[in-house]
Amino acid sequence: MKQYLYETHLHTNEGSACAHNTGREMAYAYKEAGYTGIIVTNHNWGGNTCVDRSLPWQDWVQEFSKGYEQAYEAGKEIDLDVFFGWEAGYQGTEFLIYGLDKEWMLAHEELHDVTIEEQYALVKASGGIVVHAHPFRKEPYIPKIRLYPEYVDGVEAINATHSNSKSRSHNDPAFNEQAIAYAKKYNLPMTAGSDMHISNLFGGGMLFDHRLHSIKDFIDAVLSKSYIGLTDGETVMNFR
Ligand SMILES: [Zn+2]
Ligand SMILES: [Zn+2]
């Protein structure tokens, strides 16, 4: 059976202060590594964004979207699917938002000040989904593990930085084991991503039995739990 590997969690240096490579460089690296597609999820204003927080909303969104746009343009050249997302931070608790785009963001300035509960309502009302990123990661920048099973659509069960042998940060496979158990306990869909900040890739992501032609296809596959594997780039958790 042919398998299609997608990255669900990655950063570029146009949007994230902690990232090293451009969207274009990341797109080429992912293509080279055999991925069919990627979702660009830079840090928003609640996280480690590198976009000036004092910019007016419209300008902020334009700047923030550049990493995705660069990756998307590169993706067209090399037949790599590139979708838009972001990672929303709340004092260290982070969520991956999928299914909404730059135009939606431009039209929803109220997003800037929503609580975690309001974020869920707003994203859902607009057709997107909220996934809790690395819910059990322990780091100084995460003062407290906070869980919101009723305000997410899924759980990032495998974050490759926790368990891939090439990772030089957040290394503790137990963070993934706890996330998998959490997802199972609440019967929530699981995702997997590498959380890459540099083009030296780990190979993590989600395996599907079909190509995803849009972010809607990704959401449908996640919500219906029709993914066939989750991987940190070294081991695969199979679902079929
Ligand atoms: Zn980061
Ligand atoms: Zn991240």
Distance (Å) from CA 165 to ligand 2 centroid: 18
Report residues near ion ligand 2: CB below 5 Å.
87, 195
Distance (Å) from CA 1 to ligand 2 centroid: 31
| Residues 166-218 pLDDT 10s | 999 999 999 999 999 999 999 999 999 999 999 999 999 999 999 999 999 99
Q: What is the rounded average pLDDT of the residues 13-32?
A: 98
Q: Which residues pair with 4 in a beta bridge?
A: 208
171 Ramachandran zone, left/alpha/beta (phi>0; psi -120 to 50): beta
pLDDT at 145 over 90: yes
pLDDT for position 147? 98
pLDDT for position 1? 85
pLDDT for position 198? 98
Q: What is the rounded average pLDDT of the residues 69-74?
A: 98
Tokens representing 54 are 């004092």
54: which DSSP letter?
T
Distance (Å) from CA 41 to ligand 2 centroid: 7
Distance (Å) from CA 92 to ligand 2 centroid: 11
Q: How far apart are CA 42 and CA 3, in angstroms?
A: 26
Neighbours of 81 (CB within 10 A): 22
Give the percent of the chain with pLDDT over 90: 99
* Contact call for residues 229 and 236 (beta carbons, < 8 A): yes
**CB proximity list for 110: less than 8 A, separation 6 or greater:** 122
Distance (Å) from CA 49 to ligand 1 centroid: 8
In the chain, where do the E strands start and end?
4-7, 37-43, 81-90, 93-98, 129-132, 154-159, 190-193, 205-208, 229-231, 236-238
pLDDT for position 225? 98
| Residues 46-66 pLDDT 10s | 999 999 999 999 999 999 999
| Nearest ligand (C-alpha, residue 156) | 2
Distance (Å) from CA 20 to ligand 1 centroid: 10
Distance (Å) from CA 206 to ligand 2 centroid: 16
pLDDT at 240 over 90: no
Distance (Å) from CA 11 to ligand 2 centroid: 6
Report residues near ion ligand 1: CB below 5 Å.
18, 48
| Nearest ligand (C-alpha, residue 48) | 1
Distance (Å) from CA 1 to ligand 1 centroid: 35
